[in-house]
């Protein structure tokens, strides 16, 4: 489903390490490497909990029926995937567009009082529900937001009414959120023990908000399933494996930053999700490709100069969708004062593709190896496939670089300092 075009790297004569890649795939698939208790996502598209999946679909219907807005509370892996899929498959302007599904707001992904108060204003007196998501159940940012929204719901609907509108996605047994949910009788969904936050978009973590937005989660899972089957059948020659070994090869050649480039603004949060996936999985033990992203063509007018001409430490991966969902044509103009008649009748997607090809060629000339991932359409199956593609490639790439791709010890450092400064007991 995902076509990998490596012609833009050939000039750099890559010699990727297929043997190391094969060993990394075996380690991942057979669960014999570091962090192997967090590789449940590898088989997830085949072996997910069907009963819980049906409960997710039922909960989404209930929210759609009784709420004008859904507040999704979570941070990092507990929100980026859902936001990415909703923006890519619906729109970054989803809330502003006419629709018969609830607005979806994201909260608890920072500690800005201003952002939270603005969100309260936007919700106003409309009916709303809350999906609070935290695998650990103890993360400060979502916990603060949830305390505020829980109080609001209880004031608005009473304790019993609020109970009907709060959905908690968390560990099956541990953590403060699980304790609270059990005590208050909230409907809960499980983040499986063996799936870490940044690999959890295809669990209830991502699926409930995504389904609320009216996206077909069956088709999303089907896309991931197909991609998984293809990768496992093709092994080291699969597109995911090729991508993983290519990026590791270029890293060793000094291309220490990978920019993910897309030509659709709707892709912006997919890139944010990708940055977390790769940054948190690979950036440890003093090594790791730094994942960055650009939104093209807009960033060609800001970051384009650096990419073309700055320090030669960049490798680039482009994600491109072959077919646009809607077509806009450039009109013809008799006077042609803007000189654009040479484009009259052309679709914007045609021009966008030419811009991609031109930029790709320029960057290759400028010393940046460019890999292109092409997807036919941006529909549910394609996005499910892309998610699985990036997750699998990330696990393989992480093992190839010798790290444990499934832990995140570095994330604790700021928390300890913050808890100390805030006077949290025990710090």
Residue 352 in the binding site for ligand PA5 (CB under 6 A) = no
| Beta carbon of residue 198, minimum distance to ligand PA5 (angstroms, whole number) | 3
Complex with ligand PA5: residue 77 or 291, whichever CB lies closer: 77
Residue 197 in the binding site for ligand PA5 (CB under 6 A) = yes
> Could you tell me which stretch among 38-46, 154-162, 192-200, 210-218 binds ligand PA5 (CB under 6 A)?
192-200
Cβ atoms of 145 and 107 closer than 8 Å: yes
Binding mask 216-245 for ligand PA5 (x = CB under 6 A): ------------------------------
C-alpha–C-alpha distance, residues 33 and 287, integer Å:
18
b/e sequence 330-355, b meaning 16+ C-beta within 10 Å: beeeeeeeeeeeebeeeeebeebbee
Number of residues that bind ligand PA5 (CB under 6 A): 14
Q: Which of 155, 301, 311, 334 is catalytic?
A: 301
Residue 301 annotated as catalytic: yes
Cβ atoms of 373 and 322 closer than 8 Å: no
Which of 178, 198, 255, 363 binds ligand PA5 (CB under 6 A)? It is 198
Cβ atoms of 363 and 261 closer than 8 Å: no
State yes or no: cis peptide before 297, omega within 30 of 0. yes
Cβ atoms of 320 and 373 closer than 8 Å: yes
Report the relative pairing of strands 128-134 and 103-107 from DSSP bridges. Answer: unpaired
Residue 40 in the binding site for ligand PA5 (CB under 6 A) = no
Residue 391 in the binding site for ligand PA5 (CB under 6 A) = no
Residue 192 in the binding site for ligand PA5 (CB under 6 A) = no
Q: Which of 30, 159, 172, 415 is catalytic?
A: 415
The sheet with strand 290-295 has its strands ordered as 2-5, 370-377, 314-323, 257-262, 290-295
Residues 79-138 that bind ligand PA5 (CB under 6 A): 134-136
Residue 255 annotated as catalytic: no
Write the burial class of residue 374 (CB in 10 Å: 0-12 exposed, 13-18 middle, 19+ buried).
middle
Which of 78, 203, 359, 397 binds ligand PA5 (CB under 6 A)? It is 78
> Could you tell me which stretch among 45-53, 76-84, 222-230, 359-367 binds ligand PA5 (CB under 6 A)?
76-84
Residue 280 in the binding site for ligand PA5 (CB under 6 A) = yes
Q: Which residues are catalytic?
A: 280, 301, 415
Residues of this chain that bind ligand PA5 (CB under 6 A): 75-78, 134-136, 139, 142, 196-198, 280, 408
């Amino acid at each position: 489903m995902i076509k990998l075009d490596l012609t833009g790297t050939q000039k750099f004569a890559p010699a990727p390490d297929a043997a190391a890649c094969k060993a990394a795939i075996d380690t991942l698939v057979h669960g014999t490497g570091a962090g192997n208790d967090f590789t449940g996502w590898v088989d997830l598209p085949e072996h997910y909990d069907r009963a819980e999946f049906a409960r997710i679909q039922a909960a989404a219907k209930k929210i759609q029926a009784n709420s004008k807005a859904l507040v999704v509370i979570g941070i990092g892996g507990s929100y980026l995937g859902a936001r990415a899929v909703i923006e890519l498959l619906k729109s970054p302007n989803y809330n502003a567009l006419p629709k018969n599904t609830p607005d979806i707001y994201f909260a608890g992904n920072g500690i800005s009082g201003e952002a939270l108060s603005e969100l309260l204003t936007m919700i106003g007196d409309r009916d709303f529900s809350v999906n609070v998501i935290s695998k650990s159940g103890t993360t400060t940012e979502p916990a603060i937001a949830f305390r505020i929204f829980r109080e609001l719901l209880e004031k608005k609907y009473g304790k019993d009414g609020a109970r009907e509108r709060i959905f908690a996605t968390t560990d099956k047994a541990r953590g403060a959120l699980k304790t609270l949910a059990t005590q208050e009788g909230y409907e809960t969904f499980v983040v499986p023990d063996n799936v870490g936050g940044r690999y959890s978009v295809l669990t209830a973590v991502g699926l409930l908000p995504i389904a609320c937005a009216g996206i077909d989660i069956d088709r999303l899972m089907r896309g991931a399933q197909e991609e998984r089957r293809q990768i496992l059948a093709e092994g080291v020659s699969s597109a995911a494996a090729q991508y993983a070994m290519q990026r590791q090869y270029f890293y060793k050649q000094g291309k220490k930053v990978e920019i993910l480039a897309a030509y659709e603004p709707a892709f912006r949060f997919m890139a944010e999700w990708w940055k977390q996936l790769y940054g948190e999985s690979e950036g440890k033990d003093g090594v790791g490709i730094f994942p960055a992203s650009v939104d093209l063509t807009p960033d060609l007018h800001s970051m384009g100069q650096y990419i073309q001409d700055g320090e030669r430490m960049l490798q680039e991966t482009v994600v491109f969708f072959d077919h646009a969902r809607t077509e806009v044509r450039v009109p013809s103009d008799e006077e042609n004062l803007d000189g654009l008649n040479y484009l009259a009748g052309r679709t914007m997607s045609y021009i966008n593709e030419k811009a991609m090809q031109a930029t790709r060629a320029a960057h290759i000339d400028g010393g940046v190896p460019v890999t292109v991932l092409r997807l036919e359409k941006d529909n549910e199956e394609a996005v499910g496939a892309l998610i699985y593609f990036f997750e699998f490639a990330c696990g393989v790439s992480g093992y190839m670089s010798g790290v444990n791709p499934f832990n995140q010890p570095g994330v604790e450092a700021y928390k300890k300092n913050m808890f100390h400064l805030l006077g949290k007991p025990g710090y």
